[in-house]
Structure 1
């Protein structure tokens, strides 16, 4: 784990369609100053404040994706896959400029974002990185859904899902999570949806850009994508990827264990807000302090 903050060495440029809006969007991820955090900038908005800083409180909607807003009501949708890449590659500070309302879905995973960030490279900064150390268990429950953060020496992710479709069934993962594990185990796992829900979603203004190019489509007990799955348990691995991105709105990497059971974006953000409401359950820690103590 890096002890100091990092930003990009050079801009990372990419473009694609939004999975829900279907709009083509161009993106430039640029370096930012220490302690700036991640700020999205809607370059297509000129009559209002177009800067949307990421925070737990900025999340305004969580239906099939994470949406953030600012005081002017300007929003940016579907940030979670890029945020997961930022979290696990160690990008603390970045300005994300986009000329539309929604981040491109790319192939439905974080892998394309990892590739463009790798090309841009990272630059270390002189400010210590602030970790969020979990001191006491914080848990949120909604019926049979549950999400929790618990104390642990490093970052761990456990997730379980259960679906009636035989294509998914019950899947669970439980693993220590660092950059190497993210790259090898989670980054390429894609989002998924069900064929019978597509018409209803599109009637609600969602999934207009969704296709088998950017989503695993399940029809009954079958996966419709001709290429099949990238991993037998790609579904639960993607849910873990989503959770990592949703947790990174806290503004720093977590030293603790995340557990999700049937959870989604809404419960993930409920957990973020529950943690923020419990200042006794966590503290900000820097590894620089640990290094000084060791000396």
Structure 2
């Protein structure tokens, strides 16, 4: 029986905003059952809150934006991937800035911070979305498809004409253990020339080799190299796990993504929602379970 989860205590991390160049603090606070994931712009005087629902999501070329139409928080995808991967259903995320810090470019620093605090089980069954029928969306060379399933599985394929990348594929079924072991460590990546161009235009005011894999025309520039030979496609799966959670609940589906990005992922999820192809279901709650502090489990 699956119960909803929240964090057992406040989780705090800080880092440089890749867009703003500012130091940004993020606090993750516990919430009760059925409150969902809620973000707060804690740096603003009125501290506006934005719930995580697909209507408040914008998919950009290289990031996911959460917005209420007035205030926004960008780069939420890695944090959402950690929540989704570890099964966190309810949390208040206070962000003292307009973006989530990129940290090392993966979800692992957030996963580690969540593990250190652990989680609490709440007296309510988990809510999930299931598909009513298969769905596919194609946009240019990118294609993403969804098939009904009793679990979430992802089959991703990427291709870059570069000696360090080329064609890579990765198949993954989501469980907390496999998310931590197989996906959470994979870093985002970018091409040196493009990053330098964006910095000159003022689009990027932060960012370095410490929070992304950076590639020139021939090789990976990071002195430590790759964490896995197929780290690039593993990060794609990390992004998909995060993007899927913009629905507000986990999605049970067989997902196939070829040459896709955030923009196509979010476009597809909005199409699923607007077409009424998603059905919310819940597992049956049996007993109230609250874990005392000394018995709190890590993920």
Give TM-score, length-normalised by structure 1. 0.93
- SS of residue paired to 2:9: coil
- 1:105-144 equivalent positions in 2, closer than 5 A: 105-144=102-141
Q: Which one is further off, 59-68 or 186-195?
A: 59-68
Distance (Å, rounded) in 2 between the aligned partners of 1:113 and 1:205: 27
Deviations 1:130-174 (A, max 9, x none): 111123112111111011221122110111000011110000011
- Shift, 1:204, TM fit: 4.4
Distance (Å, rounded) in 2 between the aligned partners of 1:65 and 1:38: 19
Aligned pair 1:286/2:282, yes or no?
Answer: yes
Aligned pair 1:156/2:141, yes or no?
Answer: no
Instruction: Please name the residue that 1:9 is paired with.
Output: 8
Distance (Å, rounded) in 2 between the aligned partners of 1:239 and 1:61: 15
Distance (Å, rounded) in 1 between the aligned partners of 2:27 and 2:172: 32
Q: Is the 8 A contact 2:40 2:47 kept in 1?
A: no
- Shift, 1:23, TM fit: 1.3
Distance (Å, rounded) in 1 between the aligned partners of 2:197 and 2:50: 30
- SS of residue paired to 2:190: strand
- 1:179-198 equivalent positions in 2, closer than 5 A: 179-198=176-195
Give TM-score, length-normalised by structure 2. 0.92
Unmatched segments (≥5 aa) in structure 1: none
Runs of 4 or more consecutive aligned structure 1 residues displaced over 4 Å after TM superposition: none
Distance (Å, rounded) in 2 between the aligned partners of 1:151 and 1:203: 45
| Count of matched residue positions in the alignment of Structure 1 and Structure 2 | 286
Unmatched segments (≥5 aa) in structure 2: 287-299
Distance (Å, rounded) in 1 between the aligned partners of 2:100 and 2:4: 24
Distance (Å, rounded) in 2 between the aligned partners of 1:192 and 1:149: 26
- Shift, 1:205, TM fit: 3.6
The one of 30, 52, 55 equivalent to 1:54 is 52
Distance (Å, rounded) in 1 between the aligned partners of 2:189 and 2:204: 11
Distance (Å, rounded) in 2 between the aligned partners of 1:8 and 1:130: 17
The one of 240, 246, 251 equivalent to 2:248 is 251
Aligned pair 1:85/2:85, yes or no?
Answer: no
